[in-house]
Amino acid sequence: MSISMYQASVPVLLHGLTSLQNIIGKAQAHAAEKQIEPAALTSARLFPDMFPMYRQIHVATVMAKNCALQLAEVEAPALDDNATTFDELRARIQTTIDYLNTLKPAQIDGTEGKRVVHKMRGESVEFTGLDYLHYFILPNFYFHITTAYNILRHNGVELGKRDFLGNR
């Protein structure tokens, strides 16, 4: 039994983004309930040389968007790179979800061997479509969602594994 590139990408990214939406909602409610300045959570970091929570979300959404952009070659929406509030971050995630929901399997299936060139730190890195998805997009996507989760959990937001895994 084989799995399609669409099934290995779009539903997986949508599931992660939906979980991230719910996590952000819990963080926003936590800040309101505990009378915490929201920026204390959205700007929090695990370590000084790491991105703040809001930037973790920026990168996760860019990974999802770029996956579809590279594989389906479909114009992607601009994302607000200045998003730092809970509402702005939720809007950014929703824009990405809405974009992914426009894609059809025929636009992505069959891209396993497609040549994908990605610029990283000024250098071009070449992948096949399958390697781009498995070894670049998904690991980065989950790294940044996990880091956002960990930042919020570390700062007292009551989150559990079920929040991360979402409903399936």
- Check which CATH number belongs to the domain holding 52 and give it: 1.20.120.450
> Count of CB atoms within 10 A of residue 116's CB?
20
Q: Is residue 64 part of a domain?
A: yes
* Mean pLDDT on 26-43: 97
Give residues with Cβ within 8 angstroms of 33, minimum separation 6. Answer: none
Residues 55, 32: Cα–Cα separation, whole Å: 21
Domain extent, residue 90, equals 11-165
What pLDDT digit, counting tens, does each position of 116-151 carry? Answer: 998 888 899 999 999 999 999 999 999 999 999 999
Residue 3 lies in a domain: no
- Give the C-alpha distances (Å, rounded to integers) separating 117 from 69, 90, 132, 136: 12, 30, 9, 12
* Alpha-carbon gap, residue 62 to 150, rounded angstroms: 19
Whether residue 49 lies inside any domain: the answer is: yes
- Tell me if 5 is assigned to some domain: no
CA distance 136 to 166: 22
Residue 156 lies in a domain: yes
Number of domains in the chain: 1
In a domain, 6, yes or no: no
pLDDT in tens, 67-93: 999 999 999 999 989 999 999 999 999
